[in-house]
Amino acid sequence: MRRIPLLLSCGLVGLALSGGCSGGASGTGTSNTANTTPTSTVQPKEATELDKLMRTRMNTHYSKLIYLVFHAEGDPDFQAITDESVHMTAAIQSVLDLPPPTIVESDQAKQVYVDYNVTLNKANERFVAATASKNIGTMQSTLTKIGDTCSACHHFFRIEIKEVK
């Protein structure tokens, strides 16, 4: 049985997550019509240390783990999974060591940010333990929890909430 459609869909999800982690969209505001000039220019924001870490480390290792745990043909390559989990653990530790992003302003927002990071770290610890015991079911569920935690945090801190007057 070929898994290409599922692999492609996961690849697209990975790209979407990668875009979500990249610090926001940028573009020129051009239309698809030939010989037109941009109607507006959106300047990309300066990449922060957290943005860079997400793009270059966290997304890379998480995506590799998704492939190795959910989509690799045959028996799981536990050595490759262990190697990637070491890198992802280091990336998570780097996130924990950084100050919260500037969007995290209030004390309540800081607590939410810390809670997401604690949840992420605990799920990763469970993933590492499941990998050591070669428990593929727990590996899958904890890797899913890691992705859900990342998505929830990104959703919470990427949306613009306007004050209602």
Q: Report whether pLDDT(87) > 90.
A: yes
Residue 32 inside a domain? The answer is no
Instruction: Examine residue 24 and state whether it is found in any structural domain, yes or no.
Output: no
| CATH number, domain containing residue 91 | 1.20.120.10
Sign of the torsion formed by the C-alpha atoms of 26, 32, 38 and 40 = negative
pLDDT at 160: 55
pLDDT at 29: 39
pLDDT (mean) for 61-73: 94
72 in any annotated domain = yes
Structurally, the chain folds into a number of domains equal to: 1
Q: Which domain holds residue 135?
A: 4-17+47-158
In a domain, 28, yes or no: no
Those residues with Cβ within 8 angstroms of residue 26's Cβ, 6 or more apart along the chain or in another chain: 42, 43, 44, 45
Question: Does residue 154 lie in a domain region?
Answer: yes
Which amino acid is it at 85?
S
Are 150 and 120 spatial neighbours (Cβ–Cβ below 8 Å)? yes
Residue 27 phi, psi dihedral angles, 5° rounding: -175, 180
pLDDT tens figures, 103-157:
888 999 999 999 999 999 999 999 999 999 999 999 999 999 999 999 999 888 8
Q: How confident is the model at residue 51 (pLDDT cuts 50, 70, 90)?
A: confident
Assign 162 a pLDDT band (cuts: 50, 70, 90). low
For the chain, what is the mean pLDDT?
77
Residue 159 pLDDT: 56
Q: Is residue 69 part of a domain?
A: yes
